[in-house]
Amino acid sequence: MAETQLIIGGEWTPAVRRGQYEVRNPARPDEVVGQAANGDEEDVERAVQAAHTAFPGWAALSFQQRAEILTKAARHLTADDEELQTRIRLFTREHGKILKESTLEMTRLGDRFLSSASFAERLATDAQLPGPPFDTLITHQPRGVAALIIPWNWPLSILGGKLPQALMAGNTVVIKPASQSPLAPSLTIRRIAEIFPPGVINLVTGSSSRIGDPLISHPLVRKINFTGGTETGRHIMRVASKTLKHLTLELGGNDAAIVLQDAQLDPPALQRMVMGAFLTTGQVCMALKRLYVHRSRFDELLEGVTAVASQSVVGDGLDPQVTMGPLNNEAQLQVVREMAEQARQKGARVHEVGSVPDQDLFEKGYFHRPTIITGAGHDSKVVSEEQFGPLMPILSFNDEEEAIRMANDTEFGLCSSVWTSDRDRALRVARQLEAGYTYLNAHGPMLQDNRAPFGGFKQSGLGRNLGYEGILDFLEPHSISSVPGWLL
């Protein structure tokens, strides 16, 4: 069994008072995968103080010096292949995602460090505003200690949208992973922290109810970057308002895809749709969650999507033949089941597809087959709320204006997609969608550009991760002026 501890001041250290807690395999809930450190408010205090102590030295480095350390960390992540493969298998066992997805998430994390490091020269260049009336430089300074709060669904990819950006900006950090699957993320963070000065990267694991508020309310924490549910985001805003902390909140999504009548529905396009909806058993914030198709193409699309999704093999993610693992936890499985059942009771057609090679395992674990739903009303839960599971509601529309109106008729605005053979039409529709990121003829994290900012409109959040803008979110603008003709 794996055992993980906290990282405080460069030390791999146990929790002070509460020991460890068990982490179980969602494919085999009776199987204990490992033990994680069960931190509390005293451990939060130690971690924040360590980050605060390390901040002046780290902030004093140049952007280029920090970029060199980030580049070294990226290489260190995959330098020991045996250790890497151990983390990958552990990740699948504690999370449930298939080995291919665990491998992608683990091996591509370093790319996000390299992407942040690539902005060193741009970040070091101050903007200049020559007078009159004044000569002004616009520079940037790190904010201080940043709290990075990571969800359970894609913890390492999402960490990659926060940690290298915070470090590149010159902040020190305290990372709090989700309690459901902290083992492989903790070991990965430990490997990253080995490259940085002590105290720059700190880690506290445990229950959100015990360590969440002490972290987000701590007076020495100046920046909070959170990914998770909208209700939790609202709670963080309330708590953080007492000390006016700067927030980046990547919250829920209910992504719409619009398939226009001239869309190409060949096998590769259909495969991209299915992957966009069912990757990681649908537990992806930017998953394709509502599929709107022009009435003239409805039957064709339904037949094609059903055929591709039917090839899914549901089971233990360690099995090479399996293409879809379990949901991560029993609570989320129950949410998905209830949404599908409510749609069925209201007259929708709920069609579960895919094969199950081990029925006994399927019944014991947190499994749900990929499910295609037609005939659901636009106001039904499976359409109006985020499913965060393997459900794909498909609805029809009559014209472009109706499709845009339905796509925007949601409190969320994280991602969207437009499917058409006409480039100009794709851009015209995309510009009208209320979403922070729009894919064209694709959807989902496997097709996301790390160089571009990522975040949501409306109830999907505040601020941006990734890209140059993601680093700026960890920096305070600082204007420096003088009388004209003296500074510049």
Burial letters 239-266, b for 16+ CB under 10 A, else e: bbeeeebbbbbbbbbbbbbbbbeebebe
116-119 contact pairs (CB < 8 A, 24+): 116/67, 116/70, 116/164, 116/165, 116/167, 116/168, 116/470, 116/471, 117/66, 117/67, 117/68, 117/70, 117/71, 117/74, 117/164, 117/168, 118/67, 119/63, 119/67, 119/168, 119/468, 119/471
Please give the single-letter amino acid code of residue 153. N
Give the integer Cα–Cα distance in Å for 175 and 26: 24
Backbone φ, ψ for residue 324 (5° rounding): -145, 125
Position 303 pLDDT exceeds 90: yes
Taking each helix axis from N to C terminus, what angle separates 230-240 and 208-216, rounded to the nearest 10 degrees?
A: 40
H-type helices in 203-329, by residue range?
208-216, 230-240, 267-278, 298-309
Asked if residue 323 lies in contact with residue 281, where contact means CB atoms within 8 angstroms, the answer is no
Model pLDDT for residues 174-214, shown as the tens digit of each residue? 999 999 999 999 999 999 999 999 999 999 999 999 999 99
Looking at residue 18, its pLDDT comes to: 84
Half-sphere exposure (Cβ direction) of 407: Cα atoms closer than 13 Å = 31
Question: Is the previous residue joined to 14 through a cis bond, with omega within 30 degrees of 0?
Answer: no
Asked if residue 291 lies in contact with residue 277, where contact means CB atoms within 8 angstroms, the answer is yes
Give the integer Cα–Cα distance in Å for 172 and 54: 7
Asked if residue 93 lies in contact with residue 318, where contact means CB atoms within 8 angstroms, the answer is yes
Looking at residue 337, its pLDDT comes to: 97
Domain boundaries in the chain?
Answer: 2-251+463-479, 255-449
Strand partners of residue 266: none
Domain made up of 255-449: CATH architecture: 3-Layer(aba) Sandwich (3.40)
Active site residues: 250, 285
> In sequence order, what E strands does 304-454 have?
349-352, 371-374, 391-397, 415-419, 437-440
Give the integer Cα–Cα distance in Å for 435 and 30: 41
pTM: 0.97
User: Residues with Cβ < 8 Å from 191, sequence gap 6 or more?
Assistant: 76, 77, 83
Q: Is 451 in a helix, a strand, or coil?
A: coil
The one-character DSSP state at 11 is E
Give the integer Cα–Cα distance in Å for 478 and 64: 19
Sign of the CA dihedral 169, 252, 256, 301? positive
User: Residues with Cβ < 8 Å from 100, sequence gap 6 or more?
Assistant: none
How far is CA 215 from its chain centroid?
Answer: 20
Backbone φ, ψ for residue 390 (5° rounding): -80, 60
Model pLDDT for residues 254-284, shown as the tens digit of each residue? 999 999 999 999 999 999 999 999 999 999 9
Please, what is the average pLDDT of the chain?
A: 97
Give the integer Cα–Cα distance in Å for 18 and 39: 6
Instruction: Select from 208, 203, 212, 227 the least CA-distant residue to 4.
Output: 203
H-type helices in 346-422, by residue range?
359-364, 381-384, 400-408
CATH 3.30.420.40 at 2-251+463-479, yes or no: no
Pseudo-torsion of CA 453, 458, 463, 465, nearest 10°?
A: -40
Looking at residue 146, its pLDDT comes to: 98
Average pLDDT over residues 340-344: 97
Distance separating the N- and C-terminal Cα atoms of the chain: 62
Model pLDDT for residues 393-402, shown as the tens digit of each residue? 999 999 999 9
Please give the single-letter amino acid code of residue 85. Q
Give the integer Cα–Cα distance in Å for 182 and 280: 17
How far is CA 284 from its chain centroid?
Answer: 7
Neighbours of 3 (CB within 10 A): 13
Model pLDDT for residues 373-430, shown as the tens digit of each residue? 999 999 999 999 999 999 999 999 999 999 999 999 999 999 999 999 999 999 999 9
Strand partners of residue 2: 34
Average pLDDT over residues 2-27: 97
Model pLDDT for residues 64-82, shown as the tens digit of each residue? 999 999 999 999 999 999 9
Give residue for tokens 């990734």. Answer: 466
